[in-house]
């Protein structure tokens, strides 16, 4: 809230600009509260928040610079108190603002006249310069030049310090080279701003960038070898690929990459062959497909896969044909069996009938004489009036010769007598 109030107080003459800047700043800062749940890795979240922070710093620095432009304007119009007030407010927002501090001091405090404080700041900047603190002296002199555009002394020293900055950054770069190559590279680039065509600076920048790339490549090589040693060939391969992206011309990396690629390809080809020999065609195709990812001749792998698929199709058709043939034979066997069973039943039925007929014929021939004898006895008993005995003899005769009509007549006669008939 204090930051917003400060902007409102300071930028009354530029309200539209400050409103847009606050809106941009708010939009950037709001990024810190959205989207983080979509980031999976802790490092990703950290990079995201670092980006938000840097963007916030960039916007804040831009806004404060515009605010300080108002301070310069007030100072040049003689409104030292107004310039000091703005500078102090900027310092309350960014205590590290050297520019705001110089403006505040040069604008006078404690009743001092602005011009006296300005001279004191000038001497302070020159003192820093004489001590070899060129960058700090340059920054202060830049502010003083803007506070007093017509001051020839300030302009002279500003130009001179600017010219010396190249040597200053070169010194910083040389001092940092052995301990911190990134810092050294940054210093060389800064020196290049003041001497764009300096061949030595360009040469050093090229050398450091090459060294830094090689350092990254060496680190990747170490990681790749560690993965390889633990049997993680694909992970090792991917790390080597990253190393090549960093420095495509590195012969050692390219050689290792090529050898590892061939090893992985060979592993999957061997695996694919093994599955193929066991008739596991689907697994074989998967292995050859993996080999194709690492092959210098993917068309060869495609052809192998195509041949396996043809083999699968042919065997599937043959299997289907065999199954159909088996099913046809089974149906024929069942049909034949049913016909044989039917025929067998008919033959059995005929045999049984014949047996039954033969049995009847045999029984009639064998028992006919015996049946005749029992019939004779039954008639005798009938004539003598012993109907019970007569019926027994005639019943036996009936069993022995069911076709004998005389037996049936006699039995009928006995039944009539026993029932009271004549």
Q: Check if the beta carbon of residue 154 is closer than 8 Å to that of residue 148.
A: yes
Residue 368, domain member (yes or no): no
Residues 143 and 242 in one domain: no
Residues 14 and 106 in one domain: yes
Residue 307, domain member (yes or no): no
Residue 81, domain member (yes or no): yes
Residues 122 and 194 in one domain: no
Round to whole Å and give the CA distance between 124 and 142. 13
Residue 15, domain member (yes or no): yes
pLDDT value, residue 234? 93
**Residues shown for the chain:** 422
pLDDT value, residue 244? 92
Q: Check if the beta carbon of residue 370 is closer than 8 Å to that of residue 400.
A: yes
Q: What does the pLDDT profile of the chain (422 residues) look like in tens digits?
A: 333 333 333 344 334 334 444 444 444 344 444 444 545 555 665 655 666 566 666 677 778 888 888 888 888 888 888 888 888 888 888 888 888 888 888 776 543 445 557 788 888 889 988 888 888 888 888 888 888 888 899 889 988 888 888 888 898 899 998 899 999 999 999 888 888 888 999 999 999 998 898 899 999 999 999 999 999 999 999 999 999 999 898 899 999 999 999 999 999 999 999 999 999 999 999 999 999 999 999 999 999 999 999 999 999 999 999 999 999 999 999 888 888 888 888 877 776 676 665 555 555 667 788 888 888 888 888 888 888 888 888 888 888 888 888 888 888 888 888 887 55
Q: Helices 251-277 and 199-229 sit at what angle, rounded to 10 degrees?
A: 30
Region of residue 110 (left: phi > 0; alpha: psi -120 to 50; beta: else): left
Task: Identify the domain containing residue 270 by its residue range.
Answer: 180-296
The per-residue DSSP string of 254-305 comes to HHHHHHHHHHHHHHHHHHHHHHHHTT-HHHHHHHHHHHHHT-S-HHHHHHHH
Residues 33 and 146 in one domain: yes
Q: Check if the beta carbon of residue 163 is closer than 8 Å to that of residue 134.
A: no
pLDDT value, residue 122? 86
Residue 225, domain member (yes or no): yes
Round to whole Å and give the CA distance between 261 and 238. 10
Residues 128 and 208 in one domain: no
Residue where a domain stops, chosen among 274, 296, 318: 296
Residues 6 and 153 in one domain: yes
Residues 287 and 203 in one domain: yes
Q: How many domains does the chain have?
A: 2
Residue 280, domain member (yes or no): yes
pLDDT value, residue 1? 36
Q: Check if the beta carbon of residue 140 is closer than 8 Å to that of residue 105.
A: no
Residues 143 and 254 in one domain: no
Residue 361, domain member (yes or no): no
Among residues 363, 370, 418, which one has the least CA distance to residue 394? 370
Residue where a domain stops, chosen among 273, 296, 319: 296
Residue 46, domain member (yes or no): yes
């Amino acid at each position: 809230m204090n930051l917003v109030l400060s902007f409102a107080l300071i930028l009354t003459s530029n309200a539209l600009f400050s409103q847009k800047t606050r809106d941009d700043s708010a939009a950037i800062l709001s990024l810190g509260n959205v989207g983080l749940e979509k980031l999976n890795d802790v490092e990703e979240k950290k990079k995201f928040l670092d980006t938000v922070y840097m963007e916030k710093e960039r916007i804040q620095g831009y806004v404060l610079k515009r605010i300080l432009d108002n301070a310069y304007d007030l100072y040049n119009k003689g409104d030292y108190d107004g310039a000091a007030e703005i500078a102090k407010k900027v310092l309350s927002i960014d205590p590290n603002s050297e520019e705001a501090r110089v403006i505040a001091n040069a604008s006078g405090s404690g009743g001092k006249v602005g011009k006296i404080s300005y001279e004191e700041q000038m001497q302070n900047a020159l003192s820093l310069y004489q001590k070899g603190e060129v960058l700090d002296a340059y920054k202060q002199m830049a502010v003083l030049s803007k506070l007093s555009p017509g001051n020839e002394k300030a302009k002279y020293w500003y130009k001179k310090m600017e010219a010396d900055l190249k040597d200053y950054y070169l010194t910083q770069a040389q001092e940092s080279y052995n301990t911190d190559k990134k810092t050294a590279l940054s210093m060389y680039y800064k020196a290049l701003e003041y001497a764009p065509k300096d061949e030595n600076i360009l040469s050093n920048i090229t050398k450091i960038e090459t060294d830094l790339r090689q350092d990254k490549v060496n680190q990747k090589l170490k990681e790749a070898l560690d993965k390889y040693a633990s049997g993680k060939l694909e992970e090792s391969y991917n790390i080597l690929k990253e190393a090549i992206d960093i420095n495509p011309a590195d012969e050692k990396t390219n050689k290792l990459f090529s050898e590892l690629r061939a090893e992985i390809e060979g592993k999957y080809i061997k695996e694919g062959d093994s599955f193929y020999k066991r008739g596991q065609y689907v697994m074989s195709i998967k292995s050859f497909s993996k080999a194709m990812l690492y092959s210098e001749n993917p068309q060869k792998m495609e052809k192998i896969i195509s041949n396996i698929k043809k083999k699968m199709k042919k065997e599937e058709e043959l299997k289907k044909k065999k199954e159909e043939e088996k099913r046809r034979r089974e149906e024929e066997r069942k049909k034949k069996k049913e016909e044989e069973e039917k025929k067998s039943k008919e033959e059995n039925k005929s045999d049984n009938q014949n047996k039954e007929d033969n049995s009847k014929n045999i029984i009639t021939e064998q028992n006919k004489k015996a049946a005749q004898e029992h019939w004779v006895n039954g008639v005798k008993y009938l004539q003598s009036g012993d109907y019970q005995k007569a019926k027994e003899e005639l019943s036996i005769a009936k069993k022995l010769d069911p076709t004998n009509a005389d037996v049936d007549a006699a039995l009928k006669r006995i039944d009539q007598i026993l029932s009271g008939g004549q």
